[in-house]
């Protein structure tokens, strides 16, 4: 890869939520990270460590208490079509067909109908869902809905795609098929992706780099480079390199989980 | 694949499993049994002389009274008058309550403005406001429409607010990340997202509107099903009272079925169908 420019740069980010009845929670504290152009980066960490909060800040849905978020050297001020997002919950608009959902962003920007149709077809093709255009979301399985959600986010051609545990609500079988699909999609598009998950295998399989977060307040604990060659097959998960990476990331997250439980090391167990 | 016909007891236990679906024929059998049962009880009570006609007229008495009211055109006139009052009052309530309800469920500030007032007014009996209504707008049709309006508006606005407050936040956030601005979110996300719930509540409040009919036609009415019933009760024409009740019941049934049909027709995507 030639592209080495920082697409997304986060520096000294902190988020403090104030509770309604007084008191405050520091969700993210002094966090810094970067995502290069055409890079697939994952964030893993124990639940409640501020992963979703971080992604929502990049999306512009929440304002940070301090720190800066730069996309292509411009500060993020609010939500915008240049940062697409796929959520863990099913967020297709139920009143729109698959086609209407994928066209949603293009319609907002006043693209002409033929162009919208052509782009929608292209991205539905990419996620293997050509032919479902006239269906309503309620007629689709959970996995299909998430594929449409991916196509919908990508149809806007955002500078970065943010994914917050997009397969978290799916069963194990579907999840693994979806991981493979996303791997194929990424290899065809080389989209810049910031991906949140607590599934370690998923993170290793898909990513170029993995950031491991600490427990709340969330900070970057370590950065792990995934040097497995691309294009990758699912069979890569059985290689010694993959297993070594899994053990390393697993150990890092385990340290954090033990800390949440108030157990500094396993001797206390 | 020959099987013995299950006994009655076995079939009964088959249709009485909690939350389990039953066959269409079993459902229709239930509907038929309740209709036949009520009619049989009614026939025994009246033709058997167990209840005086003054309290409960026989089926044939009521058919005769209905025929007379249909023949002289008065039933149609009364029905039309009532439908007019109810639909007008209800439509006005809907036109105001739906947008205000959506805003109230979406914007905390609008909730602060409206909720205390609405929760205060909705506990006031509509009949207690009639003197004021007469003072303000007289005793004509507007006063009757106002009764229906007050009876439905304050309930409907809370129901709609609840529907819009329950639109998932992730749906709005998805729209924002697809490039929607705040003004887009109201028309392109909140409004369509609330439609199934709105449709359900329109149907429910239309039913409530009918229950205010007598109150609406209490004062200075000379037409309407409510008036017809009040008038018949003064002369102890129990059969006509029943004709009025049956007509209201049938109209309510018809409106309900129409709303359900419309829901299926207009919102084929609705998760509720
Ligand atoms: N709107 C909010 N108000 C108050 N606290 C919040 C809010 N959103 C998240 N939090 C808190 O911030 C922490 C991080 O949440 P989140 O980012 O959802 O974690 P993760 O996605 O890693 O599981 C949690 O302790 C959560 O309770
Ligand atoms: Mg989360």
Assign B12 a pLDDT band (cuts: 50, 70, 90). Answer: confident
Longest CA–CA span in chain A (Å) reads: 65
CB contact under 8 A, A89 and B195: no
Is B126 a domain residue? yes
Could you report the per-residue pLDDT of A177-223, keeping only the tens digit for each?
999 999 999 999 999 999 999 899 999 999 999 999 998 889 999 99
Burial class for B48, CB neighbours closer than 10 Å (0-12, 13-18, 19+): exposed
Contact B210, B198 (CB under 8 A): no
Residue A132 structure tokens: 């479902």
State yes or no: cis peptide before A219, omega within 30 of 0: no
B154 shares its domain with B214: yes
Residue A201 structure tokens: 């295998």
Tell whether A84 is within 8 A of chain B (Cβ): yes
B206 shares its domain with B161: yes
- For ligand 1, whether the C-beta of A17 sits within 6 Å is yes
Is B52 a domain residue? no
- For ligand 1, whether the C-beta of A18 sits within 6 Å is no
Burial string for B215-242 (b: 16+ CB within 10 Å, else e) reads bbbebebebbbbbbbbbbeeeebbbbbb
For residue B178, the chain A residues in CB contact (below 8 A) are 81, 84, 104-105, 108, 152-153, 156
For residue A61, the chain B residues in CB contact (below 8 A) are 173, 176-177
CB contact under 8 A, B269 and A83: no
B113 shares its domain with B149: yes
Is B271 a domain residue? no
CB contact under 8 A, B178 and A109: no
Closest ligand to C-alpha of residue A49 is 1
For residue A81, the chain B residues in CB contact (below 8 A) are 177-179
B31 shares its domain with B162: no
CB contact under 8 A, A136 and B179: no
B32 shares its domain with B84: no
Distance A193 CA to ligand 1 centre (A): 22
Contact A59, A226 (CB under 8 A): no
Coil, helix or strand at residue A3: coil
Mean pLDDT rounded to a whole number for chain A = 93
Which structural domain, as residue segments, surrounds residue B36? 7-47
B127 shares its domain with B249: yes
User: Terminus-to-terminus CA distance in chain B, angstroms?
Assistant: 35
CB contact under 8 A, A93 and B189: yes
Residue bearing the bigger pLDDT, A265 or B142: B142
Nearest protein CA to atom 4 of ligand 1, as residue? A17
Tell whether A94 is within 8 A of chain B (Cβ): yes
Query: CB count, 10 Å around CB of B119?
Result: 11
Given this model, what pLDDT does residue A113 score?
Answer: 96
Select from B119, B142, B151, B124 the least CA-distant residue to B215: B151
Residue B181 structure tokens: 């601005």
For residue B270, the chain A residues in CB contact (below 8 A) are 94
Q: Which residues, 6 or more positions from A29, have their beta carbon under 8 angstroms from its beta carbon?
A: A14, A217, A218, A219
- The percent of residues in chain A predicted with pLDDT above 70, rounded, is 96
Residue A164 structure tokens: 């917050």
Any idea what the CATH number is for the domain that residue B225 is in?
1.10.3720.10
- The percent of residues in chain A predicted with pLDDT above 90, rounded, is 87
- Report the residue among A14, A27, A87, A199 best suited for mutation to probe ligand 1: largest number of ligand atoms under 8 A from its CB: A27
B41 shares its domain with B113: no
What would the DSSP string read from start to end of A30-64? EEEEEEETT-EEEEE--TTSSHHHHHHHHHTSS--
Given this model, what pLDDT does residue B114 score?
Answer: 96
- For ligand 1, whether the C-beta of A25 sits within 6 Å is yes
List the single range of A105-119, B101-115, B121-135 with lowest mean pLDDT: B121-135
Assign B2 a pLDDT band (cuts: 50, 70, 90). Answer: low
Beta strands in B13-93 (DSSP E): none
Considering only the beta carbons, identify the residue of B176, B180, B269 that sits closest to A138.
B269
Query: CB count, 10 Å around CB of B185?
Result: 18
CA B86 to chain centre: 11
Mean pLDDT rounded to a whole number for chain B = 94
The Cα A194–Cα A35 span in angstroms is 7
The Cα B131–Cα B47 span in angstroms is 44
Residue A133 backbone dihedrals phi, psi, to 5 degrees: -50, -45
> B144 CA to chain A: closest CA distance, Å?
38
Coil, helix or strand at residue A109: coil
> B156 CA to chain A: closest CA distance, Å?
23
The Cα A72–Cα B170 span in angstroms is 26
B261 shares its domain with B210: yes
The Cα B145–Cα B149 span in angstroms is 6
Q: What are the sequence ranges of the domains in chain A?
A: 38-61+77-261
B110 shares its domain with B39: no
B84 shares its domain with B130: yes
B65 shares its domain with B34: no
Pairing outcome for strands A220-225 and A74-75: unpaired
Give me the sign of the Cα torsion angle A181, B189, B87, B125. Answer: positive
Could you report the per-residue pLDDT of A42-90, keeping only the tens digit for each?
999 988 899 999 999 999 999 999 999 999 999 999 999 999 999 999 9
pTM of the model: 0.89
- The percent of residues in chain B predicted with pLDDT above 70, rounded, is 99
> A250 CA to chain B: closest CA distance, Å?
30
The Cα B148–Cα B205 span in angstroms is 10
Select from A199, A211, A240, A207 the least CA-distant residue to A226: A207
- For ligand 1, whether the C-beta of A61 sits within 6 Å is no
CA A92 to chain centre: 17
- For ligand 1, whether the C-beta of A34 sits within 6 Å is no
Residue B209 structure tokens: 């509107």
Could you report the per-residue pLDDT of B53-87, keeping only the tens digit for each?
999 999 999 999 999 999 999 999 999 999 999 99
User: Terminus-to-terminus CA distance in chain A, angstroms?
Assistant: 45
Tell whether A135 is within 8 A of chain B (Cβ): no
CB contact under 8 A, A60 and B268: no
Count up the domains in chain B and report the number.
Answer: 2
Could you report the per-residue pLDDT of A134-145, keeping only the tens digit for each?
999 999 999 999
Is B53 a domain residue? no
Is B84 a domain residue? yes
The Cα B211–Cα B264 span in angstroms is 26
B34 shares its domain with B74: no
Given this model, what pLDDT does residue A2 score?
Answer: 40
3-state helix, strand, coil in chain B (%, to 5): 75, 0, 25
Contact A86, A156 (CB under 8 A): no
Contact A58, A194 (CB under 8 A): yes
Whether the pLDDT of residue B105 is over 90: the answer is yes
> B188 CA to chain A: closest CA distance, Å?
9
The Cα B52–Cα B60 span in angstroms is 14
ipTM computed for the complex: 0.93
Is B68 a domain residue? yes
Per CATH, the homologous superfamily of domain A38-61+77-261 is P-loop containing nucleotide triphosphate hydrolases (3.40.50.300)
For residue B189, the chain A residues in CB contact (below 8 A) are 93
Of all residues in chain B, the one with the smallest CA distance to A138 is B271
* C-alpha distances in Å from residue B98, one per residue of B77, B164, B207: 31, 10, 17
């Amino acid at each position: 890869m030639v592209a080495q420019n920082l697409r997304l740069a986060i520096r000294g980010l902190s988020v403090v939520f104030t509770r309604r009845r007084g008191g405050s929670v520091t969700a993210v504290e002094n966090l810094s990270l970067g995502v290069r152009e055409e890079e697939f980066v994952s964030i893993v960490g124990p639940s409640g460590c501020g992963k979703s909060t971080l992604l929502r800040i990049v999306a512009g849905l929440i304002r940070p208490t301090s720190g800066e978020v730069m996309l292509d050297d411009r500060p993020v001020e609010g939500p915008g079509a240049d940062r697409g997002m796929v959520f863990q919950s099913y967020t297709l608009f139920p009143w729109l067909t698959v086609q209407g959902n994928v066209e949603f962003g293009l319609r907002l920007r006043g693209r002409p109908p033929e162009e919208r149709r052509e782009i929608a077809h292209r991205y539905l093709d990419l996620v293997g869902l050509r032919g479902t255009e006239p269906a309503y979301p309620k007629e689709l399985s959970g996995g299909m809905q998430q594929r449409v959600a991916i196509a919908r986010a990508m149809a806007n051609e955002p500078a970065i795609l943010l994914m917050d545990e997009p397969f978290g609500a799916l069963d194990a079988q579907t999840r693994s098929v979806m991981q493979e699909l996303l791997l194929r999609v990424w290899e065809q598009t080389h989209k810049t992706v910031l991906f949140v998950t607590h599934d370690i295998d998923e993170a290793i399989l898909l990513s170029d780099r993995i950031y491991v977060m600490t427990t709340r307040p969330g900070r970057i604990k370590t950065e792990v480079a995934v040097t497995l060659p691309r294009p990758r097959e699912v069979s890569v998960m059985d290689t010694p390199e993959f297993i070594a990476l899994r053990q390393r990331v697993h150990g890092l997250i385990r340290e954090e989980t033990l800390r949440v439980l108030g157990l500094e090391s396993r001797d206390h167990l | 694949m020959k099987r013995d016909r299950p006994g009655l007891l076995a079939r009964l236990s088959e249709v009485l499993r909690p939350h389990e679906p039953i066959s269409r024929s079993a459902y229709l059998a239930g509907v038929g049994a309740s209709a036949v049962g009520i009619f049989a009880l009614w026939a025994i009570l009246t033709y058997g002389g167990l209840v005086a006609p003054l309290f409960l007229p026989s089926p044939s008495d009521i058919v005769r009274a209905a025929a007379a009211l249909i023949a002289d055109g008065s039933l149609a006139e009364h029905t039309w008058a009532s439908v007019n009052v109810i639909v007008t009052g209800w439509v006005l309530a809907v036109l105001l309550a739906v947008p205000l309800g959506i805003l109230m469920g979406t914007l905390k500030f609008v909730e602060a403005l409206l909720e205390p007032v609405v929760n205060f007014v909705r506990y006031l009996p509509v009949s207690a406001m009639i003197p004021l209504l007469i003072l303000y707008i007289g005793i004509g049709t507007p006063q009757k429409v106002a009764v229906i309006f007050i009876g439905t508006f304050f309930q409907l606005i809370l129901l709609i607010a609840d529907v819009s407050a329950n639109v998932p936040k992730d749906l709005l956030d998805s729209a924002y990340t697809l490039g929607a601005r705040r003004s887009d979110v109201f028309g392109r996300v909140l409004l369509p997202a609330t439609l199934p719930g709105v449709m359900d509540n329109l149907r429910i409040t239309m039913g409530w509107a009918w229950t205010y009919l007598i109150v609406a036609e209490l004062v200075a009415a000379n037409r309407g099903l409510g008036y017809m019933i009040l008038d018949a009760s003064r002369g102890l024409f129990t059969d006509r009272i029943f004709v009025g009740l049956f007509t209201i019941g049938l109209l309510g049934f018809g409106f309900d079925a129409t709303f359900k049909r419309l829901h299926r027709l207009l919102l084929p995507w609705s998760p509720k169908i």
